[in-house]
């Protein structure tokens, strides 16, 4: 039950960002956190997710140590976050390495998404999570000074602040910034998670996370926690083509394993054996949105986190960790203006300060991620366009070796960024945020 005498924070969306923020704020005696989730039950889609050292450190900072356990988090024993192999010879062409010192428990890990969500949900009082509550709109109540959220079932809830953590298509974001809808990138992922026993018989099946690269697609394979295995295949279409396959497919819809097998028919015997063992697959047409001008919305009372704030379409397998870092930074910014021993609620100016610190902590970093992703998407489309000549083996190997080094994303230090943002805000260097819509 929401307590309007406390400082009310409404979190819209119980994904990684929303649950992370709820966990980070749950111990404040004068903050009332309520999470509104549109789904009927908390259930993750049947796919895998990777977290880099930044996400793993933030999980630990949030006290979600159960997600760091080997039982659910699979780490490469070589410590390489990713191993890149040739599509026909299987040889290792390159590897990613952690740039800084990374302790074992923070090494890049792969999860079955449901295991990660379960681990997070264990730290949130279930009575604070309201299911079947799909955000529709917000108004401001001049009498109480509160925000009034309306859900699609006609019910309402009050809040002092709203955190929109409602995913890539974010109704909160598009309510405040109607031009911020997503567009299909043309990339389609075919994702499968199944028991490791399906591939255990295959000689040389990789026992680490491996990304095979070919001229026109890639194949990701990895063990996950609790003896699961994941395979992610891909198809790149021209997003502008009216007849592009899977253009209108629903996210997480059932795919055809025979189509997947067809994609890899010329690949190495090892990759084909793995693909032949895949029992089922689901289809995920990828989309992305443009960078937002500001994350300080609703007259300084609403902000965004996770994919809602930076709909980058999952590139670099970074979205989960970015969402966790957002959640931590949002909570840290609120606690900066409203510490646990505060004797009164924060003023509107203090709330605005908190949202600016949050934006300053996160947005420059995620804007950079988004700009690299958009640039890479353009390059990918150019490479796959019908007019471009086929890539030679030499060019493919050079592309693998010259890929972006993602360590600046996966080892980003959110605490240091927060400290810098606080210092800048204190020095009055942060520009005015705010985008009134209420």
Ligand X SMILES: Cc1cc2nc3c(=O)[nH]c(=O)nc-3n(C[C@H](O)[C@H](O)[C@H](O)COP(=O)(O)OP(=O)(O)OC[C@H]3O[C@@H](n4cnc5c(N)ncnc54)[C@H](O)[C@@H]3O)c2cc1C
- Asked whether position 334 contacts ligand X by CB under 6 A, the answer is no
Number of residues written out for the chain? 438
61-100 positions binding ligand X, by CB under 6 A:
none
186-225 positions binding ligand X, by CB under 6 A:
191
Looking up tokens 């059932």 gives 254
128-147 positions binding ligand X, by CB under 6 A:
134-135
Backbone angles phi, psi at 266, to 5 degrees: -100, 5
Q: Please state the closest distance from residue 421 (CB atom) to ligand X, in A.
A: 20
- Asked whether position 406 contacts ligand X by CB under 6 A, the answer is no
- Concatenating the DSSP letter of every residue in 260-320 gives HHHHTTTS-HHHHHHHHH----EEEEEEE-PPPS-S-BTTTTEEE-GGGT---TTGGG-HH
- Rounded Cα distance between 13 and 166, Å, is 4
- Concatenating the DSSP letter of every residue in 329-383 gives HHHHHHHHHS-TT-SSPPPHHHHHHHHHHHHHHHHHHHHHHHHHHHHHHHHHHHH
Give the residue with the Cβ less far from ligand X, 163 or 422.
163
Q: Please state the closest distance from residue 15 (CB atom) to ligand X, in A.
A: 2
Looking up tokens 């996770």 gives 306
Binding mask 291-330 for ligand X (x = CB under 6 A): ---------------xxx-----x--xxxxx-x-------
Give the residue with the Cβ less far from ligand X, 217 or 337.
217
Give the residue with the Cβ less far from ligand X, 167 or 346.
167
Q: Which of 166, 208, 325, 411 binds ligand X (CB under 6 A)?
A: 166
Q: Please state the closest distance from residue 23 (CB atom) to ligand X, in A.
A: 12
Q: Please state the closest distance from residue 116 (CB atom) to ligand X, in A.
A: 9
Residues 6+ apart with CB under 8 A from 312: 288, 318, 319, 322, 366, 369, 370, 373
- Asked whether position 24 contacts ligand X by CB under 6 A, the answer is no
Q: Please state the closest distance from residue 347 (CB atom) to ligand X, in A.
A: 28
- Asked whether position 11 contacts ligand X by CB under 6 A, the answer is no
Q: Please state the closest distance from residue 176 (CB atom) to ligand X, in A.
A: 13
Give the residue with the Cβ less far from ligand X, 111 or 267.
111
Closest to 424 measured CA to CA, from 369, 322, 353: 353
- Asked whether position 233 contacts ligand X by CB under 6 A, the answer is no
- Concatenating the DSSP letter of every residue in 45-69 gives -S-EEEE-HHHHHHHHHTT-GGGGS
Residues 6+ apart with CB under 8 A from 327: 16, 17, 18, 19, 20, 21, 23, 24, 58, 62, 165, 305, 306
Give the binding range for ligand X (CB under 6 A) out of 60-68, 76-84, 160-168, 397-405: 160-168
Q: Which of 7, 36, 184, 190 binds ligand X (CB under 6 A)?
A: 36
- Asked whether position 365 contacts ligand X by CB under 6 A, the answer is no
Q: How many residues bind ligand X (CB under 6 A)?
A: 34
252-291 positions binding ligand X, by CB under 6 A:
284
- Asked whether position 124 contacts ligand X by CB under 6 A, the answer is no
- Asked whether position 165 contacts ligand X by CB under 6 A, the answer is yes
Q: Are 126 and 157 in contact (CB under 8 A)?
A: no
CB atoms within 10 A of CB 93: 18
Q: Are 39 and 131 in contact (CB under 8 A)?
A: yes
Q: Which of 7, 8, 11, 13 binds ligand X (CB under 6 A)?
A: 13
- Could you tell me the CA-to-CA distances from 40 to 14, 16, 129, 258, 305 in Å, in that order? 11, 17, 11, 32, 22
Residues 6+ apart with CB under 8 A from 397: 86, 93
Q: Which of 8, 10, 11, 18 binds ligand X (CB under 6 A)?
A: 18
Q: Please state the closest distance from residue 426 (CB atom) to ligand X, in A.
A: 29
Give the residue with the Cβ less far from ligand X, 246 or 284.
284
Q: Which of 9, 25, 31, 49 binds ligand X (CB under 6 A)?
A: 49
- Binding positions for ligand X, rule: CB under 6 A: 12-18, 36-39, 45, 47-50, 134-135, 165-167, 171, 191, 284, 306-308, 314, 317-321, 323
């Amino acid at each position: 039950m929401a307590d309007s005498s406390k400082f009310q924070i409404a979190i819209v969306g119980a994904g990684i960002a929303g649950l992370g923020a709820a966990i980070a704020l749950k111990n404040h005696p004068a903050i009332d956190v309520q999470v509104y989730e549109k789904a009927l039950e908390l259930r993750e889609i049947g796919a895998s997710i990777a977290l880099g050292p930044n996400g793993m450190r933030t999980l630990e900072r949030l006290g979600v140590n159960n997600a760091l356990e080997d039982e659910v988090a699979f780490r490469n024993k070589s410590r390489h976050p990713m191993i890149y192999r040739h599509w026909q010879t299987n040889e290792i062409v390159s590897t990613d390495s952690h740039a800084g010192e990374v302790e074992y428990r923070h090494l890049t890990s792969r999860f079955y998404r449901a295991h990660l969500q379960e681990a997070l949900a264990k730290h949130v009082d279930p009575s604070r999570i309201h299911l079947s509550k799909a955000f529709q709109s917000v108004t401001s109540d001049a009498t109480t000074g509160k925000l009034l959220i309306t859900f699609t079932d006609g019910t309402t809830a009050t809040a002092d602040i709203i955190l929109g953590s409602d995913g890539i298509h974010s109704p909160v974001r598009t309510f405040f910034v109607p031009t911020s809808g997503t567009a299909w990138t043309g990339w389609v992922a075919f994702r499968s998670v199944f028991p490791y026993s399906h591939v255990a018989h295959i000689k040389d099946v990789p026992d680490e996370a491996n990304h095979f690269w070919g001229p026109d697609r890639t194949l990701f394979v990895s063990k996950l926690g609790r003896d699961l295995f994941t395979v992610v295949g891909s198809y790149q279409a021209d997003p502008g083509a009216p007849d592009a396959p899977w253009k209108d497919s629903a996210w997480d819809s059932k795919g055809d394993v025979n189509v997947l097998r067809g994609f890899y028919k010329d690949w190495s015997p090892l990759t084909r054996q793995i693909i032949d063992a895949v029992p089922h697959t689901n289809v995920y047409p990828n989309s992305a949105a443009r960078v937002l001008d500001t994350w300080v919305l609703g007259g300084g009372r609403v902000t965004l986190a996770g994919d809602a704030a930076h709909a980058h379409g999952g590139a670099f397998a970074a979205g989960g960790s970015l969402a966790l870092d957002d959640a931590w930074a949002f909570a840290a910014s609120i606690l900066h203006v409203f510490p646990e021993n505060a004797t009164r609620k924060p003023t509107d100016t203090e709330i605005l300060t908190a949202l600016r610190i949050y934006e300053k902590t996160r947005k420059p970093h995620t804007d950079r991620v988004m700009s690299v992703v958009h640039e890479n998407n353009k390059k990918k489309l150019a490479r796959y366009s019908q007019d471009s000549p086929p890539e030679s083996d030499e060019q493919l190997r050079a592309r693998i070796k010259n890929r972006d080094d993602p360590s600046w994303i996966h080892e980003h230090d959110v605490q240091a960024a927060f400290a810098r943002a606080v210092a800048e805000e204190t020095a009055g260097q942060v520009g005015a945020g705010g985008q009134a819509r209420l």
